[in-house]
Amino acid sequence: MELTEFVIKTITIVVVFALTLVIAMYSTWGERKVAGFIQDRMGPNRAGPGGLLQPLADAGKMFFKEDFIPALANKWLFIAGPSLAMLTALLASAVIPFGSTIKWDGAEVVLQGVESNIGILYVFGVVALGVYGIMVGGWASNNKFSLLGAIRAASQNISYEVAMGLSLIAILMMSSSLSLGEIVAQQHGGNWNIFYQPLGFIIFITCSFAECNRVPFDLPECETELVGGYHTEYGSMKLGFYLFAEYINMFISSAIISVLYFGGYNYPGMDWVYTQLTGSFGPETGHNIATLIGTAVFFGKALFFVFFYMWVRWTIPRFRYDQLMNLGWKKLIPLAIFNIIITGAAVLFLKPLITAWLN
Amino acid sequence: MQLTNRSKQVSNKEMTLMERAYLPAIATGLAITIKHFFAKKVTIQYPEVKRYLGPVFRGRHILKRDEDGRERCTACGLCAVACPAEAISMVAAERVKGEEQLYREEKYAAVYEVNMLRCIFCGLCEEACPKQAVYLRHDEFVPVFSDRDQVIWGKDLLVEDMNSRYTREAWTKEEARALDNKRANGEVTNVVPRAIP
Amino acid sequence: MKEVTIAEAPQGHSGAGFFATSFDEAIGLARSYSLWPLPFATSCCGIEFMATMGAHYDISRFGSERPSFSPRQADLLMVMGTIAKKMAPVVKQVYLQMAEPRWVLAVGACASSGGIFDTYSVLQGIDRIIPVDCYVPGCPPRPEQIIDGLMHIQYLAQNEKLRRRNTDEYQHLLASYNIQ
Amino acid sequence: MLSNQEVAEELLGKYGDQVFDFEEPYGLLTLSTTRENIIPVLEFLRDHKSYQVNFLTDLTGVQYPENKGKEFMVVYHMHSFIHNFRIRIKVSIPEADIHIPTATGLFASANWMERETYDFYGILFDGHPNLIRILNIEEMDYFPMRKEYPLEDATREDKIDALFGR
Amino acid sequence: MAEIELLPHNVPSQAELPELVEELTTLNLGPTHPATHGIFQNILKMDGEKIVSGEQTIGYIHRAFEKIAERRPFYQITTLTDRMNYCSSPINNFGWHMTVEKLLQIEVPKRAQYIRVIMMELARISDHLICNSILGVDTGAFSGFLYVMQKREDIYEIYEEVCGARLTTNMGRIGGMERDLSTTAIRKIRDFIKTFPPVLQEFEKLMSRNRIFMDRTINVGGISLERALSYGFTGPNLRAAGLDYDVRVMNPYSSYEDFDFSIPIGQSGDTFDRYNVRIEEMWQSLKIVEQALNNLPEGPYYADAPEYYLPPKKEVYNNMEALIYHFKIVMGEIDAPAGEVYHAVEGGNGELGFYLISDGGRAPYRLHFRRPSFIYYQAYPEMCKGSTLSDAILTMSSLNVIAGELDA
């Protein structure tokens, strides 16, 4: 009994880990393909069918590229930078509920790396650490462009975290729970938070663009100004880690967006599907199949947002540094606070009214 | 200050409320890019699909022979003089008895070399040649080199191979113009491929 | 003490073993499809490089669309355009900053040989300061030719040993350019 | 429309024999002056109430090695947008005393053009804020546009000069 | 082998690093920085991200055009002018030919003039397309760049039809054109006139009224009209500052007086103004191309000047006189009169002037190019002073400094 649970948990964790990596890896391919398609061209299509081996080629090349540490760099921190970025990026995926439960041998296991009742806090904590990877790496490079990139990254991430957290508080007020699993479960039956929190969603997604350093907030690494930004001095797999971490972050934030606002693994008509499946396959297998469908839906949602990230990236120009700060502090934070007030008022006054009216 | 009556103020820096709100413009942009996402791709898959380079493209050099297989070049040196890159060099020789089948004129180029890395493919040599001997092919490039020693092409590479002769619709610009007129009047109907495949 | 004799390797089995060889090939293949260029575009050829990046020719099909303006990240130095003598030290510096394996593609007449600019201020070919793997003729070359050059570099990448950069031959080449 | 005649007369009236060699090649008023007068002439034209020849189109040097005592020449092209009138002013200077006052005080654009002229011919513009080479490398020890220096890079290997008169 | 020593400014050793007493950072923008299209260097003194002062170093692709021109016959100089502003080489090309024609007093037939106008305006479009779309790239929007590059590819196809090359066209000759416009070329130009507007409109939709782009460009890198004139600005950059000076209108050449077009001007000479002026100029150029194509006169495409324009190949074989002319022209032994000419055309970046002194020899005695990029780029430190690094980069790309023209 204990052992089965342990095994399933281990498998879940490994699968979550591997999936995150594979998705991040193929996000690089996806990015290049999406960029190509948006720009009327083919994108990589020589390495393997449709260019599917492109990420492997990149990884293979990077692994065997000369590992270089600049003479005046701080060696220890220079290595710590990308490692930290990668580490924090990977940690966040642990608490994301990928599906509901798997029934196996009488036990019921949640499809989630770690079932934590403070999931959202954990995510925030880990994501907040992510900026250290960039900062440390940029600082250690002993390059002015890197340093500028690192400074930009640090101040940008810290500023936008405020607005992001505030926009989340509205969600927490509605769900009165910090557990991601609980938040998803509450959105069952088409009861998605996006319908209640459109403003919060816009603030949240804007901030997550900023947190992931994606266009229009890719100031820390913008090519035309800072050459490579914080990773200017990085080559070989260390650069690979940085790029990889960016894509993992993208996937994680997409996953969080779909969990918080788009009902996670919930989809319209899932109860009907569930009854059909348990009816024809038996309660256990049917339940598991239904869970897997939910997981697939969840991945669909997350990947759509990954696509959305890329779509936006290849469409709009980027902000200037001071404009970015203005947007963050002067627009998004007041908006988020306004959103909290509205939500609070609604929860306090509107909800009892509606409940009363419904009854 | 205004100098002419043709000036036109074009820069409008006032933003409307819609433009201030960021999102409408971003949505328009997203709509444009997603339209392109599903549009037909214009990419030419180069090594497999080759683009037609146009009837007058200035590609690699060729030294023409005439119908009997005799080299047309008479080593007058005009091409070398006309070359702004000084890429062409030649050594002239007198034709001796018995070589009439090889060379059309009494003088010929014993050595004719083009430095393919110097060459800027401006077409002035073709224009300068009074014997219509040197041409820039419209259908072929000079290949890439990996060795600096291979870049000077001698007669072995330049002189036309009689088995696969180089043909062109029109050899001079006057001929091209005449042909074009005929085509415009519908007298010639063969259509050469011109557009992207 | 008994002398240990080492048996001769059977014929055809000298050098790296099968695994190492196919590994070489795999990494060579990987490298060849992930040549991130450093577009060192100084003049006209740079405009043609833009065309090569553009939708019609699309250099990304070869996995090379990520231009790395930082030399640390680049695999292929594409020198496009005239390199004046004032610029020469910069080219060399950029080359030195690149991490192995690195390739150099001289695009166009100016970079390859000076082209029409046989003048006091122009370097007569970048191969005077750095080793060049491939020369692309033309002024400027058509995008097709630039792709030809890239494909030639791919061919080189596929057919060279993983550690060719440690070979005497290569070290010798670098030494002839006073590098290291 | 300003006529060449009018401007020439005005300049003659103001500067007398300090402006000379009036010509009109291809309709462009051309005159010469001395280096003592060039800046006053330019300033006069620039600040003239009705002419407003206030745009320095071009500034360049020319070398005439055979013209002893006047080996170098600095040529100014001025333009009046209001009247669409162009004027060319030349100043000859000897090689032995290769100095001319700078026009940077009058036109910001003169700065680099003078540096370029210095770089090419070695003409020294007195009072220029930063008269150093601009296009060529700092280490260059000659002025390459002078006629006596060769054009070619001496290290070119792939050319045979013997051919066809080169 | 030429021994080249590394410049000392590259990596300072620890001991050489200044002590942390001064608060300013020196940032070395270029020569290989991605935003310095073409190669030039800016040494910026920065206070955080604010630029306190800047100094440019140029000459990184100095190719000694003016020196070469003194050694080459007139007709070979075409190949040089092509490579000067390579984004719009036909303008340089014909500008040079018109200068020589002015010297030789050749009257070019109307048809050749119209063909030149068509080609020059197409070149202007392709020049402005590059500049504006690169401005887009520098703000981070890459896709618009590739959309309009497809149309530039169409322009290249037209060039290719007319002369056989894409970029360095070499399509003009002293006395006219190398070739006439073929029917295919005319068809392609018509196609271009039809298909270009939607693409440009789309580009405008993507960029012009996007608030992020407007915020990035408005009041960035502005220059007052007075300073612009003092710095010798011409072309779109001067027009953006508010003065409608256009050589095509002020000193019409090549029959520009026949065409109806307006001169776009901006308000304060900032990046947004420059962008808009360029966009509008493309529309105007398109209008000119359309007018020129519709009114394209019949007739010869080169002047009746046998001493200067190569005779047809057929004539060369059959006619002794033609053969002699052919040899004389190719050898460069034409009888150019002694004299001096200044001729200006409206290049992609402004007034492109050719100051030619001929002493009657086979090559110019002195040829000086008035290169607009060279002249106005000196204003750059003043324009980016006090702005941030990002602004400085946009200012640079909207100035459209072409290194080939800058350094010559």
Residues E371 and E352: beta-carbon distance below 8 Å: yes
Asked which of A179-193, C159-173, D4-18, E141-155 is least confident by mean pLDDT, the reply is: C159-173
Distance CA(B169)–CA(B155), nearest Å, equals 25
- The answer, yes or no, to whether the previous bond of B84 is cis (omega within 30 of 0) is no
pLDDT digits (tens, 9 = 90+) for B119-177: 888 888 888 888 888 888 888 888 888 888 888 888 888 888 888 888 887 788 788 88
Q: What's the ipTM?
A: 0.87
- Residues facing B103 on adjacent strands: B71
Among A41, A243, A313, most C C-beta atoms within 10 A, so best to mutate, is A41
Asked which of A70-79, B56-65, E254-263 is least confident by mean pLDDT, the reply is: A70-79
Q: Phi and psi at residue B87, in whole multiples of 5°?
A: -95, -15
Using a CB-CB distance cutoff of 8 angstroms, which residues of chain E are in contact with residue C42?
38-39, 60-61, 403
Going by the annotation, the residues of the binding site of B for [4Fe-4S] cluster are 73, 76, 79, 83, 119, 122, 125, 129
- The alpha carbon of residue B36 and the mean position of all alpha carbons in its chain are separated, in whole angstroms, by 32
Cβ atoms < 10 Å from Cβ of B40:
7
Average pLDDT on B41-46 reads 84
Q: Is the pLDDT of residue E6 over 70?
A: no
Q: What is the pLDDT of residue E3?
A: 53
Residue D52, both tokens: 């407003």
Q: Which residues of B touch D (CB under 8 A)?
A: 1, 3, 77, 80-81, 86, 89-90, 115, 118, 152
The answer to whether A124 faces chain E, any CB pair under 8 Å, is no
Average confidence score pLDDT of chain A: 83
Inter-chain CB proximity C43 and E62 less than 8 Å? no
Say which DSSP state C141 is in. Answer: P
- Residues facing E370 on adjacent strands: E353
The answer to whether C135 faces chain B, any CB pair under 8 Å, is yes
Q: What are the angstrom distances between the C-alpha of C75 and each of A236, C102, C105?
A: 10, 5, 11
A148 vs chain C: nearest CA distance in angstroms?
A: 15
Inter-chain CB proximity B34 and A312 less than 8 Å? no
Q: What is the pLDDT of residue B193?
A: 46
Q: State the DSSP H helix or E strand holding residue A185, giving kind and residue range, or none if neither.
A: helix A180-186
Inter-chain CB proximity C72 and A39 less than 8 Å? no
Cβ atoms < 10 Å from Cβ of E408:
26
Q: Assign E107 to helix, strand or coil.
A: coil
In sequence order, which residues have a C-beta less than 8 Å from that of residue A2 and are 6 or more positions away? none
Using a CB-CB distance cutoff of 8 angstroms, which residues of chain E are in contact with residue A41?
146
Closest CA to A175 of A184, A166, A167: A184
The answer to whether B46 faces chain A, any CB pair under 8 Å, is no
pLDDT digits (tens, 9 = 90+) for A250-302: 888 888 888 888 888 888 887 888 888 888 887 778 888 888 888 888 888 88
For residue D161, name the pLDDT band (cuts at 50, 70, 90). low
Q: Assign E400 to helix, strand or coil.
A: coil
Q: What is the pLDDT of residue B194?
A: 42
Percent of chain B with pLDDT over 70: 94
Inter-chain CB proximity C65 and A64 less than 8 Å? no
The answer to whether C131 faces chain B, any CB pair under 8 Å, is no
Residue with the bigger pLDDT between B19 and E236: it is E236
pLDDT digits (tens, 9 = 90+) for B4-14: 888 888 877 88
E2 vs chain D: nearest CA distance in angstroms?
A: 8
Q: Which of E59, E229, E376 sits opposite D136 (nearest CB)?
A: E59
Domains of chain D: 4-148 (3.30.460.80)
Closest CA to C121 of C92, C87, C80: C87
Average pLDDT on A186-214 reads 84
Distance CA(E48)–CA(E219), nearest Å, equals 20
Domains of chain C: 36-143+164-176 (3.40.50.12280)
Q: Is the pLDDT of residue A9 over 80?
A: no
The answer to whether C137 faces chain E, any CB pair under 8 Å, is no
Counting Cβ atoms within 10 Å, is residue A144 exposed (0-12), middle (13-18) or buried (19+)? middle
Say which DSSP state A42 is in. Answer: -
The answer to whether C162 faces chain A, any CB pair under 8 Å, is yes
C134 vs chain D: nearest CA distance in angstroms?
A: 18
Percent of chain A with pLDDT over 90: 0
- The answer, yes or no, to whether the previous bond of A352 is cis (omega within 30 of 0) is no
Average confidence score pLDDT of chain B: 82
Q: What are the angstrom distances between the C-alpha of E126 and each of B54, E130, E285, E289?
A: 20, 6, 10, 13
Distance CA(B44)–CA(D13), nearest Å, equals 70
Using a CB-CB distance cutoff of 8 angstroms, which residues of chain D are in contact with residue B80?
163-164
Q: Phi and psi at residue A138, in whole multiples of 5°?
A: -65, -40
Among D119, D143, D145, D156, most C C-beta atoms within 10 A, so best to mutate, is D156
Inter-chain CB proximity E130 and C47 less than 8 Å? yes
Selected residues 314-343 of chain E with any CB under 8 Å from a CB in chain B? 314, 316-317, 323, 326-327, 330-332
Q: What is the pLDDT of residue D52?
A: 85
Domain boundary assignment for chain E: 65-407
Q: Which of C120, C124, C128 sits opposite D144 (nearest CB)?
A: C120
Residue E408, both tokens: 């010559």
Query: Is residue C134 annotated as involved in ligand binding?
Result: no
Q: Is the pLDDT of residue B187 over 80?
A: no
Residues B116 and B83: beta-carbon distance below 8 Å: no
Domains of chain B: 63-177 (3.30.70.3270)
Q: What is the pLDDT of residue E197?
A: 92
Among C36, C38, C43, C121, most E C-beta atoms within 10 A, so best to mutate, is C43
Ranked by mean pLDDT, which of A276-290, B90-104, D146-160, E96-110 comes out on top? E96-110
Using a CB-CB distance cutoff of 8 angstroms, which residues of chain B are in contact with residue D84?
3
E191 vs chain A: nearest CA distance in angstroms?
A: 20
pLDDT digits (tens, 9 = 90+) for D109-139: 888 888 888 888 888 888 888 888 888 888 8
The answer to whether E73 faces chain C, any CB pair under 8 Å, is no
Distance CA(A83)–CA(A70), nearest Å, equals 17
Q: What is the pLDDT of residue E1?
A: 44
Question: What CATH number labels E65-407?
Answer: 1.10.645.10
For residue B108, name the pLDDT band (cuts at 50, 70, 90). confident
Q: Which residue's entry shows tokens 């002194």?
A: E357
Q: Which of E27, E143, E212 sits opposite A39 (nearest CB)?
A: E143
E375 vs chain D: nearest CA distance in angstroms?
A: 6
Q: Is the pLDDT of residue E325 over 70?
A: yes
Residues A177 and A260: beta-carbon distance below 8 Å: no
Asked which of A114-123, A325-334, B128-137, C13-22 is least confident by mean pLDDT, the reply is: C13-22
φ/ψ region of B90 (left if φ > 0, alpha if ψ in -120 to 50, else beta) reads beta
Q: What are the angstrom distances between the C-alpha of A261 and each of A281, B159, E53?
A: 31, 72, 48
Among D55, D153, D158, D166, most B C-beta atoms within 10 A, so best to mutate, is D158
Q: Which residue of E has its CA nearest to A216?
A: E140
Q: Is the pLDDT of residue B48 over 70?
A: yes
Selected residues 58-77 of chain C with any CB under 8 Å from a CB in chain B? 58, 61
Torsion sign over Cα C148, C154, C156, C158: negative
Percent of chain A with pLDDT over 70: 99
E64 vs chain D: nearest CA distance in angstroms?
A: 8
